[in-house]
Amino acid sequence: MRSPDSPINVGLLGLGVVGGGVLSALSRNGSTVPRSVGRPIRVARILVRDPDKPRDVEFDRQILTADAASVLKDPSIDIVAEAMGGEYPALDYIRTALEAGKSVVTANKEVMAKHGPELLELAARRGAHLLFEASVGGGIPILGPLTRSLRGNEIRGIRAIINGTTNYILTKMSHEGTEFADALREAQELGYAEADPTNDVEGIDAGYKLAILASLAFHTRVAAEDIHLEGISRLTGRDFRYARELGYVIKLVAIATDRDGSVEARVHPALVPEDAPLAKVDGVLNAVEVEGDLVDRVLFHGRGAGSMPTASAMVGDILEVAWSMANGLPAAGFLTLDREVSLCPISDLVTRYYIRATVLDRAGVLAQMASILGNLQISIASVIQKEVGLNDGTAELVITTYHSRERDVQQALRELAGLDVVKEIGNLLRVEE
Amino acid sequence: MRSPDSPINVGLLGLGVVGGGVLSALSRNGSTVPRSVGRPIRVARILVRDPDKPRDVEFDRQILTADAASVLKDPSIDIVAEAMGGEYPALDYIRTALEAGKSVVTANKEVMAKHGPELLELAARRGAHLLFEASVGGGIPILGPLTRSLRGNEIRGIRAIINGTTNYILTKMSHEGTEFADALREAQELGYAEADPTNDVEGIDAGYKLAILASLAFHTRVAAEDIHLEGISRLTGRDFRYARELGYVIKLVAIATDRDGSVEARVHPALVPEDAPLAKVDGVLNAVEVEGDLVDRVLFHGRGAGSMPTASAMVGDILEVAWSMANGLPAAGFLTLDREVSLCPISDLVTRYYIRATVLDRAGVLAQMASILGNLQISIASVIQKEVGLNDGTAELVITTYHSRERDVQQALRELAGLDVVKEIGNLLRVEE
């Protein structure tokens, strides 16, 4: 037991974009930080790969170390703040810290999506806190509100834009008519996208975040690998133009819905009505819409990434733990992830669809296509036919449907692709009202 | 000490719209409520004026009482949920409950705006919780995120639409060209506005909520009576048309800004750029935008009033207290309202302005007006001149200014009103970028 005035010591893992933000945030306003805690907070040690590398932030370089054990096993470290990212070695470090009874604050969506339930159990067993607000939506308070303020609700669903990189690319494509490859290159140049953009562009990052959100919202364990993922690389400028003509914008949406104990969870590009709240979330911004039985819909909107916004969430969690410690409150878990639910396969999904196809520009084509759709009970809501202008005798046809079942639509696509008059199925997108 | 399985008893004060919502919310989903708490929660007694009055909700009518003491002084009642509204007797009841060491959850913005700091101190002395998420923004989680997830931030400002009644009226006026009196009557018919609409229409209700938000955000005590209030009854359909022409919508905004320890807090109608997030908050919806030094801007958006949304917030707080009790955690205050700040008078405000005046339709009028403004260092940003069509020789002139000081603008208005050519100053509105 140290004295009530002694500082609460934070061991920081990683001094990259997020770790640097946490360090400067905790160093900057000594005035407000202790105000809400009652004890000073100090970054006592920082784990880095190379302690000799030059750094932008000013601080006592003595606290740098390349030895993980000197952070994770030092009894003077109260809170471990993990800002490394990636599954390994972050997972091992978090486990070691929790085993040692230290509280952990992390921004690591991959670790929490894949190992969250196990780590939360470990934390509960060891009487430690494990907080991870920063893992979803950057600086936007979402996990706190979802699990505390909204906990009187039965959460029915989550609809979110939770990947800033893809939202930047889609906004470029939508507003400026940029094609995917160019928008991606621009995002890379601005530092919004990584050299290997797979994690963002293929929806993997959003899938991790949705797994965390859905698990907390539905009091269960939604595994990242159970989430249906589709990326944005097949989208073309034409899809955006057709969408606009129909009154929609295209967004990479992360949707989880609880249908009476059957959970549907998916990440894919979708047509969203242009006046829907999510349609107006542009650039690198994120937004999460939560629907609960009492509250109806609430929307949380802000910066979903970046050094200081992510630090905002991590520091909020650090202060929560520090406040708890300063007041002698034991850690008590309030997350329950033990509800049994079944995962609804994507083939069971019922929604509206957008089909873009290149067809021979001749009479009777639409009739043949409509017949296939009709036989599968898929009703057509609208048709747009355009000359593509290639002068090769083809035209482009865009069909939107009323609510239909995914497996029927997939069957229809296979049959459509088999028609002589259909040269190519360009894209299949879901339409989310 | 009761057994760990014994229910946590809630005493409910009031069974009107909000109290009825809390009762049915706590009665409805026995399955999820205990999940996050670990002990059953039971509404054990309800204070009503008339226990014999017929009620819509189904419940054991034995628990109704008209005797406040039988709720406030019964040792078996653990949590008092106040859903009566109004300053008295709610304030006395909350005091009595806290004195008795009971935790209190309240939706009462008037009591919290006027007596919050005193009541929070009392709660801390008695080791009781006092939670009031429902007092601002109905079901929108805002006080929780502001004081917990965002507590690493120095909050710079709050901009909010936090009165659903006026927002409904303004949306009507804006979208349908309805005049104020008609829109108010419609709001009354729909139950959105009370028979005496003063509290909503004059900004008093929004002022209470802003006092609470600003106090929490800036760790200080912003008294409701220190907030500059202007209502919406002077707005005309023409103001909305001019605003639209200039690229704005008109909203009743509640704004609190921390200018290095000088706090500016005001509620008034303002021109908001049509593409700003607050401009898109329509009907009875509410939104609160928080700006922090780390997080930049985050927006919280949802249903700011109504039975079930308000119940969502109250039940969230009840579950928070119940969870604390079930885990044997003592109540520990985490709100600090002891920071010394000065209140910035409205005359010191610097913003942009919109002035609408009826003038004689003759040459040289604008020159005379521009000269008055120029002498006070007020720069004109735009001018619209319209024939009003009264054929009485008058025209309507709308001037917007660049950033100017309020006291100079007020001086200019007095001088303008003194001009022979100015028949009437129709309205002065602030323009918030």
The model's pLDDT over A128-154, given as tens digits with 9 standing for 90+, comes to 999 999 999 999 999 999 999 999 999
- Contacts from B54-60 at CB under 8 Å and sequence distance 24+? B55/B15, B55/B20, B56/B20, B57/B15, B57/B20, B57/B23, B57/B24, B57/B27, B59/B23, B59/B27
DSSP string, B98-128: HHTT-EEEE--HHHHHHHHHHHHHHHHHTT-
Q: Closest partner residue to A315 among B29, B294, B323, by Cβ? A: B294
For A329-355, b where at least 16 C-beta lie within 10 A, e where not — what string? bebbbbbbbebebebbebeebebbbbb
Q: What is the pLDDT of residues B145-154, one digit of tens each?
A: 999 999 999 9
Q: Which span out of A362-376, A387-401, B17-31 was modeled with the highest average pLDDT?
A: A362-376
Kindly tell me if the per-residue pLDDT of B55 is higher than 80: yes
Contact assignment for B302 to A297 by CB distance below 8 Å: yes
Please state, in angstroms and rounded to a whole number, the distance separating the CA atoms of residues A147 and A260: 20
Q: What is the pLDDT of residues B371-394, one digit of tens each?
A: 999 999 999 999 998 766 667 888
Do the beta carbons of residue B288 and residue B300 sit within 8 Å? yes
Number of H helices and E strands in chain B, helices first, is 13, 18
Q: What is the pLDDT of residues A353-362, one digit of tens each?
A: 999 999 998 8
CB within 8 A of B354, min separation 6: which ones? B239, B242, B243, B246, B271, B398, B399, B400, B427, B428, B429, B430, B431
Neighbours of B99 (CB within 10 A): 15
DSSP string, B228-251: EE--STT--HHHHHHHHHTTEEEE
pTM score? 0.96
Q: Which of A73, A209, A386, A423 is catalytic?
A: A209
Kindly tell me if the per-residue pLDDT of A211 is higher than 60: yes
Q: What is the DSSP letter of B184?
A: H
B 312-331 near A (Cβ less than 8 A): 312-316, 318-320, 323, 327, 329-330
For B205-214, b where at least 16 C-beta lie within 10 A, e where not — what string? bbbbbbbbbb
| Mean pLDDT across chain B | 93
Whether residue A19 lies within 8 A of chain B, CB to CB, comes out as no
CB within 8 A of A172, min separation 6: which ones? A178, A183, A186, A187
CA dihedral sign of residues B61, B62, B65, B70: negative
Q: Closest partner residue to B301 among A151, A299, A311, by Cβ? A: A299
Do the beta carbons of residue A355 and residue A413 sit within 8 Å? yes
CA dihedral sign of residues B20, B22, B23, B28: positive
B 225-244 near A (Cβ less than 8 A): none
CA distance A415 to chain B (A): 44
Owner of token pair 């969230």? B316
In terms of CA atoms, which chain B residue is nearest residue A308?
A: B294
Determine the residue among A26, A35, A148 to mutate to test chain B binding: the one whose Cβ has the most chain B Cβ atoms within 10 Å. A148
Q: What is the pLDDT of residues B221-276, one digit of tens each?
A: 999 999 999 999 999 999 999 999 999 999 999 999 999 989 999 999 999 999 99
The distance from CA A205 to its chain's CA centroid, rounded to whole angstroms, is: 6
CA distance B200 to chain A (A): 22
Do the beta carbons of residue A337 and residue A256 sit within 8 Å? no
Task: Look up residue B21 and give its two tokens.
Answer: 């919502």
Please state, in angstroms and rounded to a whole number, the distance separating the CA atoms of residues A381 and B218: 52
Least confident of A203-217, A334-348, B403-417: A334-348
**ipTM confidence:** 0.95
Contact assignment for A297 to B293 by CB distance below 8 Å: no
Set of chain B residues whose Cβ sits within 8 Å of the Cβ of A320: 148, 151
A89 upstream amide cis, omega within 30 of 0 = yes
Helix (H, G, I), strand (E, B) or coil at B391: coil
Active site residue A172: no
Please state, in angstroms and rounded to a whole number, the distance separating the CA atoms of residues B357 and B283: 29
